[in-house]
Amino acid sequence: MSASRTAPRVAVEERLFSLVLALLATEGGLSKSEILSTVQGYRQRFDKGGDNANLERQFERDKDDIRDLGVPLETVESPGDAGNNQLLRYRIRKGAYELPADVRFSAEETSMLNLAAMVWREGALSGESRRALLKLRGLGGAQAQQPVLGYAPRLRSRDAAFAAIDAALEKHLTVRFRYLKPGQTEASERHVIPLALVQYQGRWHLSAEEPETGRRKMFLLRRIVGAVTTGRPAPQRDGDFAAQALASLAEVWEAGIAELEVVAGSDADRRLGSRAGAERHGVVSTDGGSSNAGESLRLRLHFVDLAILADELAAFGPEVVVLEPAALRSAVRERLTLIGAAHAPA
């Protein structure tokens, strides 16, 4: 029996944090094989000498997810064999993941952080994590000797609907919930057969089937309003619905293209430019000075959900100008208008 069939389930959040912890703990980086065979969440499913294609695809998705969270994951080529992807090593430079030098905390904030650090040291570094660090030291990572407890996780909480839908999946039950689509003012009730829960680019999606029509649909869990209720037993279906859902989302991501203009060196430039599939097209304008502060860059992004991307871009304020598509530009303008109105003097 393969390792993937007998391995216990490891929460996505735990796997992503274990990956970040491992990459922080080594100066020279880890190869893909070292990551898959030693890091919590991968090693349980790693088949030494067997087929690990699914696990490798999971690692590729996880790389994109932690980059979307703002973690500066780097790839390092082998000095003696540049261009050989099989010898790539992965790392997170500690200096790139530390707080900016100009960030300061008050005495009260420092006290709270110290208290949180005590709780973290006592309870969060599990036996699995300690064993992983011992294995990393065995790989020869010089930085593995240094304490890494200063890096606490910053992970998204699961959506409120997750637990109920996950339980319904396990028991093969139908579910009912209210779903609020972008642009709607009232949520509509949905009755579906859950097929798979998948995380794509840090967000949970439900792939489901409408029992009345047989149509497959995808739901973003963050848009489920109120409680999820379970219904009658649903017929069991064969198929890798998780893989199908991820492939469907990847197609949507590939087709969704946004053209942006961002201020060079800004937070928008750094965060958006580090996303998976982001492409820079050089300087498009400048204020004529010798500094890069006035330069703007053309940036192309892929996206799955236009409304979510509009929320994210609006948060960057004047650092981003949307060029295409028109629907995205209109959505960002609408959000900025609402923000301006909310802060206008009475």
**pLDDT band per the 50, 70, 90 thresholds, residue 258:** very high
Closest CA to 220 of 311, 299, 153: 311
Strand order in the sheet with 257-263: 279-285, 296-302, 257-263, 320-324
Span 166-197, pLDDT tens digits: 889 988 999 999 999 988 889 999 999 999 99
Contact 322, 328 (CB under 8 A): yes
Pair of tokens at residue 109: 């904030």
Q: How much is the average pLDDT of 46-52? A: 85
Domain positions in the chain: 3-145, 162-249, 256-342
**CA angle centred on 76, ends 75 and 82, rounded to 5°:** 120
What pLDDT does residue 219 have? 96
**pLDDT top residue among 181 and 148:** 181
Q: What does R_g of the chain's alpha carbons equal in angstroms?
A: 23
Average pLDDT (158-172) is: 86
Give residue 154's pLDDT. Answer: 42
Q: What value does the mean pLDDT of the chain take? A: 79
Q: Are 128 and 40 in contact (CB under 8 A)?
A: yes
Q: Which tokens hold the place of 80?
A: 């003696």
pLDDT of residue 121: 47
pLDDT greater than 80 at residue 27: no
C-alpha to C-alpha distances, 285 to 32, 239, 263, 332, nearest whole angstrom: 40, 51, 10, 22
Q: Beta-carbon neighbour count of residue 201 at 10 Å?
A: 21
Indicate the pLDDT class of residue 99, thresholds 50, 70 and 90. Answer: low
Quick one: how many helices (H) and strands (E) in the chain? Answer: 11, 12
Selecting from 3.30.360, 2.40.128, 2.30.30, 1.10.10, what CATH number does the domain 162-249 have?
Answer: 2.30.30
- Tens-place pLDDT, residues 284-316: 655 544 334 468 899 999 999 999 999 999 999
pLDDT for residue 114: 60
The pTM of this model reads 0.57
Give the closest residue to 200 by CA, choosing from 305, 106, 73: 305
